[in-house]
Structure 1
Amino acid sequence: MTASVIGVIGGSGLYDLPGLTNAEWMTVSSPWGTPSDDLLIGEIGGKTLVFLPRHGRGHRIPPSEIDYRANIDAMKRAGVTDIVSVSAVGSYREDLPPGTFVLIDQFVDRTVKRESSFFGAGCVAHVGFGHPVSPGLMDRLEAAATAEAIPHRRGGTYVCMEGPQFSTLAESLWYKSAGFDVIGMTNMPEAKLAREAEIPYATVAMVTDFDCWHQDHDHVDVAAVIKVVHDNADKARRLVARFAQDFPVEHPACPIGSDHALDHAIMTARDARDPLLLAKLDAVAGRVLGARP
């Protein structure tokens, strides 16, 4: 069995989680680039918790300039077995007002500028992604939200836009008509890369606004968004802390096999694989490539 190491990717404020002890910022280097920040590594409920501020401390990095590959690779090198992403989103539903937490189960990727795979020429791989979120993690997040009396809904589709600008009215109406539930700028390709790294992944989407489709909101107001983010911060800390406290000490197998996503994914013949790329894949894919145990 593998000891659980809980990874949390999110914004400022989550690193002062209730019950987190012996916390220390540590630098983890990655061959894929520079992670958004050092990793805050501590203990909670007898387990290790690793926190990464997605935009860096002080919110220095915009969505399109985050090195998502370096972030996920650094989490893998830190031994993370499961990732919870905490993200601010806009809502396309009247019944998902600001302050609601949505446990996402589907994504639509509308980004165009970001590196979305660890694999490529010299080592080709195709992982399944029909169900991008681990239902086991969703079960535990739902139980934590219920225990903490946090308004939430299980299930929803997150459309990820490029940004950094918010949507036009036409885009907002288009996404709403398509049946999407929320919109954000950061969970793609993060979720794709977590799957390639064989780390079960789940998203807690914190609704901050109604985007610009809503009759009472002709545009997204940053000041109003920040206020809701701050109001949500305590709920987010309580949710993540409860989730971590109650998480098993031994990593539970993902019900959909996220933690073995590479079992049959590598297409390139062994004698055709690029040694330089294989060296960079030592953490992400070493289990199946034989680069490490």
Structure 2
Amino acid sequence: MNKTDRQLAIMLELQRCKVSRAEDLASLFETSVRTIYRDIQALSEMGIPIVGAPGQGYSLMEGYFLPPVGFSAEEAVTLLLGTDFIEQKLDGDYGGVAKSARRKIEAILPEPVRAESARVRETMRLLRAGEPAATSKEKDKLGQARRAILERRKMRLTYRKRLPETDGNRTTEREVSPYGLVLLQGNWMLVARCDLRADIRHFRLSRVTELAVLEERFHMPDDFNLSDYRKPDDRSERLRVRTNPAIMDKIVETCQFYMESTEERPDGLVVTFRVRQPEELLSHILGWGGDVEVLEPESFRHRVREEAENILKRY
């Protein structure tokens, strides 16, 4: 980044963040603190009203606002692809806003930049490979959850679990305090504190069959930050299989999250998985057919054999 571009970027950063330290600006623009001091002095000499507060940082004088900045073709493509993504993945409210934003961005672009960005966009598409298209009902649930989070209102939901409980029941009703939404591998996950479990739990919106926003409000914990939050890893069971190396790509594509290690042996490739319960991999193991053999635990070997025998009875 040359000096002119960096100084413009510093002004934009000060407008965005209100207050920034020289050390933070130096880290952001990968330069020295001394260079930032020189840039700030140069901007001040050009008449930019930058205020420095000892121990706090630099800021633009209140009321000062930079005029609109032009976009390059690459920047325009980035913004326009972003509106495409929002329209696909969020609920109707944001879908309409995304269309409006796209029209505004296209309207302010100079004709050469608009033509170039259109040409670049023609070479890229956002596809939902392997993902079912979101239905209007799913987008409605997303909108309800999003509004409940913003308004700090509790929700009551009926949830269909992936695996049944010990009593065979897969459906449960919960009251939760919704903390945030995470898009994970094409699926929206609700991060919420569950009253029943008295802890944070994760609910896949596509498995929520009924959802209601309640009048009762909740308090967001002061120490909770969705950007910093990481789901605890509770995969405590290990499962080992011997597999044909020829299908390793298929295993990686579908089960990389569970994979812990691989070991080459004369009789095949041994893959170790870490799971919450072996049933999570049952459908995958059966789908790989004779190319895999479960080595341990022994109880899961019997479970796979039992399921294979049930399939054989139907043929």
Larger helix share, 1 or 2: 2
TM-score by length of 1: 0.25
Larger Rg: 2
Which structure has more RCO (C-alpha within 8 Å, separation ≥ 6)?
A: 1
TM-score by length of 2: 0.23
